[in-house]
Amino acid sequence: MSQAGADGRVCAETLCPGEGSGDILWLDEPLSFWGGTELGTGVITDVHHPQHGVCLVGRIVVMRASRGSSSSSSVLAEQIRAAVAPAAILLGSRDAIVTLGALAAAEIYGTRLPILLLDESDLAGLPRSGPVSVHAAGDRGSVCWSLAHRTATPYSM
Amino acid sequence: MGKAAAVQVRLSAEDEAKLAGDRGPGVAMAMRLVVALARVSQATELIDIESAHIDGCLYHGQAGLDFIQKLVALGAKVAVPTTLNVGSLDLLHPGLVRMDRRESAAARALMDAYVAIGARPTWTCAPYQEAARPQGGTDIAWAESNAIVFANSVLGARTARYGDFVDVCAAVTGRVPLAELHLAQNRIPTLELDCSGIPERVLDNDAAWAALGFVVGREVGEQVAILTGIGAEVVDEDRLKALGATAASSGGVGLFHVAGVTPEAVQGGQAWLEAGLTRIEVTPELLRAARDELTTAAVGDRLDVVALGTPHFSLAEFAKLAEVLADQVPFDPSCAVWISTSRHVLAQAREQGYAQQCEVLGARLVVDTCTYLVPILADNVRTAMTTSGKWAWYAPANMGINVVLGTLAECIASARAGRVIRDESSWR
């Protein structure tokens, strides 16, 4: 295993290029941006969602599976415009709706919210909390984090 | 998978020309999104489409408006016949939608921009009720989940589950990725839902089809199912509309088949069934459970609203309603009856006198939009009843009200009584 303080890093397929960093946020259940988040604040408003009330703004959001209305593309694009979007999205499935929202915002505003597609084992290797950074260029991208930070997770208390 | 190399999309010379801007900067912008979708969906090539249906004209904020206005400013025009889904305003009945002046102006500007790009101002979620419909076997790019599932299942046309932004990009380029439900192998059912245990008299009311759709959505998710054991004589397009719309809400259903009824099942259904599919039995108990899951109010509760026409009411549905209303018993004054439909069907319903028959009893007609999407119902509405599984699915969260799924007869009896009436005999 890596030494403490060394970097953790996984590679992934780029769905939308860009750069982003922030605290990682694992969604425990799929989320629809339309009907599930507040347009103007990026807060989860779906009362059936276990993370109801959590704010997505500036987070590196991990979405293992997708769900939701195709209007979610518009909601995500609007949240990118209003600067209340996640800093990056890490997907476990080929979610065209989320990806198109980010690509449309890039076309209109030049603002880039990176989206990467990770396979199951790479997703499982991501930290549960703490800061990560996402670099997504061309076809390939990567997610990086500091292993030292993992000592701060509840698992090692 | 994440580690696999991205699939390369083979573009035709004309695709390359569009992407390079040779057909104008608007076409190039649209093509960039179509090619990006091809990459996400791992398509190896693009194909032509014969028509498009756009859902992006419902206002969700400034970004949607900026996107279409940019395409228009760059000179883009639709390349194929294109219809428009509902907007956020009823343009024939100004003031019906309660929206502040700024948002109302933005919603109007959005609708205007989609007309400016060359789409027909149909403003309906039921484009399959318009005069020109896609032929079976043709590739189209339709957006809006109920329109998608109807085009695939009932018309036998082929569309993937398109959504905002890419719908208009497909219309402008005339091209879509060869993927998802455009591919014949993805249209073959993997599940059989055996409905032979449901009595025909239960399936002889439209709300039972909404309940059936809810079961289908829950059981199959995004898979393709074939429903068996349903007599062709109880099936009509309005019932398949109700089934599909609810299945696309409670699950991600983009295509279903009905043995002996829908076009691809008529052609290939027997062979699919002989090959052996995982079989699930759908019982009347499951339908009642679905009905009750789509119901958040109780029998006997005071009723404020009956909402019909989600997806948009058809002419045949107007005729059925006119028959139920023929005895001219008035609605309870505290219960408002709303009917959402398209301007095209409304014109036909006026010609036939159905619309006037509804209005004389106090029913209100909405076109171009829908009662669960934008503020139309009175602020103090607490409980509503509907025949629509889709309306029942979305209304409680969208509007913070209680809802009851019921048959047309139950809805009208309840509207007349001003309280929720359930006739269990029609569900057994």
The shortest CB-CB distance from B40 to any of A15, A104, A119 is to A15
**Is A17 within a domain?**
yes
pLDDT digits (tens, 9 = 90+) for B139-158: 999 999 999 999 999 999 99
Instruction: Find out whether B313 and B339 touch, Cβ atoms under 8 Å.
Output: yes
**Is A2 within a domain?**
no
pTM equals: 0.93
**Is A114 within a domain?**
yes
Q: Is A125 part of the contact surface with chain B (CB cutoff 8 Å)? A: no
According to DSSP, residue B186 is labeled: G
Q: How many CB atoms lie within 10 A of CB A11?
A: 14
- Strand, coil or helix: B56: coil
- Same domain, yes or no, for B70 and B194? no
- Same domain, yes or no, for B200 and B252? yes
Which of A31, A47, A75, A108 would you mutate first to test chain B, the one with the most B CBs within 10 A? A108
Q: How far, in Å, CA of B107 to CA of B102, rounded?
A: 9
From chain A, the residues in CB contact with B64 under 8 A are 74, 77-78
Q: How many CB atoms lie within 10 A of CB A148?
A: 14
Peptide bond into B311 cis (omega under 30): yes
Number of domains in chain B: 3
Terminal Cα-to-Cα distance of chain B (whole angstroms): 47
- Tokens 């989206």: give the residue: A115
**Is B400 within a domain?**
yes
Cβ-count burial A101-129 (b if 16+ within 10 Å, e if not): bbbbbbbbeeebbbbbbbeeebbeebbee
The distance between the two most distant Cα atoms of chain B, rounded to a whole number of Å, is 67
Model pLDDT, residue B157: 98
Asked about A69 being catalytic, the answer comes back as yes
Of residues B140, B129, B131, B143, the one with CA closest to residue B58 = B143
Instruction: Find out whether A19 and A136 touch, Cβ atoms under 8 Å.
Output: yes
From chain A, the residues in CB contact with B163 under 8 A are 69-73, 96-97, 100
Residue at a domain's end among B155, B185, B215:
B185
CATH number at residue A126: 3.50.30.10
**Is B1 within a domain?**
no
- Same domain, yes or no, for B181 and B195? no
Residue at a domain's end among B257, B292, B327:
B292
Task: Count the residues in chain B.
Answer: 428
pLDDT digits (tens, 9 = 90+) for B281-339: 999 999 999 999 999 999 999 999 999 999 999 999 999 999 999 999 999 999 999 99
Residue at a domain's end among B233, B260, B292:
B292
Q: How far, in Å, CA of B372 to CA of A86, rounded?
A: 28
pLDDT tens-digit profile, chain B (428 residues): 444 555 689 999 999 999 999 999 999 999 999 999 999 999 999 999 999 999 999 999 999 999 999 999 999 999 999 999 999 999 999 999 999 999 999 999 999 999 999 999 999 999 999 989 999 999 999 999 999 999 999 999 999 999 999 999 999 999 999 999 999 999 999 999 999 999 999 999 889 999 999 999 999 988 999 999 999 999 999 999 999 999 998 888 999 999 999 999 999 888 999 988 999 999 999 999 999 999 999 999 999 999 999 999 999 999 999 999 999 999 999 999 999 999 999 999 999 999 999 999 999 999 999 999 999 999 999 999 999 999 999 888 888 899 999 999 999 999 999 999 999 999 99
Contact flag B29-A107 (C-beta cutoff 8 Å): yes
Q: How many CB atoms lie within 10 A of CB B62?
A: 15
Q: What is the nearest CA distance from A70 to chain B, expressed in angstroms? A: 5
- Same domain, yes or no, for B303 and B286? no
Mark which residues 39-98 of A lie under 8 Å from B by CB: 39, 46-47, 69-75, 77-78, 80-82, 94-97
Instruction: Find out whether B292 and B393 touch, Cβ atoms under 8 Å.
Output: no
Q: What is the nearest CA distance from A141 to chain B, expressed in angstroms? A: 10
CATH number at residue B168: 3.30.499.10
Tokens of B376: 């139309």
Q: Is B74 part of the contact surface with chain A (CB cutoff 8 Å)? A: no
**Is B2 within a domain?**
no
As beta bridge partners, residue A63 has A91
**Is B3 within a domain?**
no
CA B55 from chain centre, in angstroms, equals: 10
The shortest CB-CB distance from A119 to any of B3, B29, B143 is to B3
**Is B4 within a domain?**
no
Q: How far, in Å, CA of A97 to CA of A80, rounded?
A: 14
Number of domains in chain A: 1
Q: Which amino acid is at A154?
A: P
Q: Which domain holds residue A99?
A: 7-152
- Same domain, yes or no, for B109 and B211? no
Alpha-helix residue ranges (DSSP H) falling in B232-386: 237-250, 263-274, 284-293, 315-324, 343-352, 354-360
**Is A157 within a domain?**
no
Q: Is B62 part of the contact surface with chain A (CB cutoff 8 Å)? A: yes
**Is A110 within a domain?**
yes
**Is A103 within a domain?**
yes
The angle formed by the CA atoms of residues B274, B275 and B277, to the nearest 5 degrees, is: 100
Which region, left, alpha or beta, applies to residue A78 given φ > 0 means left and ψ of -120 to 50 means alpha?
alpha
- Same domain, yes or no, for B168 and B92? yes
- Same domain, yes or no, for B150 and B277? no
Contact flag B63-A74 (C-beta cutoff 8 Å): yes
Q: What is the nearest CA distance from B350 to chain A, expressed in angstroms? A: 33
- Same domain, yes or no, for B156 and B217? no
- Same domain, yes or no, for B52 and B117? yes
Instruction: Find out whether B393 and B250 touch, Cβ atoms under 8 Å.
Output: yes
**Is B154 within a domain?**
yes
- Same domain, yes or no, for B24 and B164? yes
- Same domain, yes or no, for B244 and B359? no
Complex ipTM, two decimals?
0.88
The angle formed by the CA atoms of residues B336, B339 and B343, to the nearest 5 degrees, is: 140
Q: How far, in Å, CA of B364 to CA of B345, rounded?
A: 15
- Strand, coil or helix: A137: strand
Find the residue in A nearest to B66 (Cα). Answer: A108
Contact flag A103-B1 (C-beta cutoff 8 Å): no
- Same domain, yes or no, for B225 and B310? no
Find the residue in B nearest to A116 (Cα). Answer: B2
**Is A1 within a domain?**
no
Of residues B157, B178, B162, the one with CA closest to residue B262 = B157
Model pLDDT, residue B1: 42
Strands A7-16 and A140-146: antiparallel
Q: Which domain holds residue B149?
A: 13-185
Q: Is B217 part of the contact surface with chain A (CB cutoff 8 Å)? A: no
Catalytic option among A32, A66, A69, A72:
A69
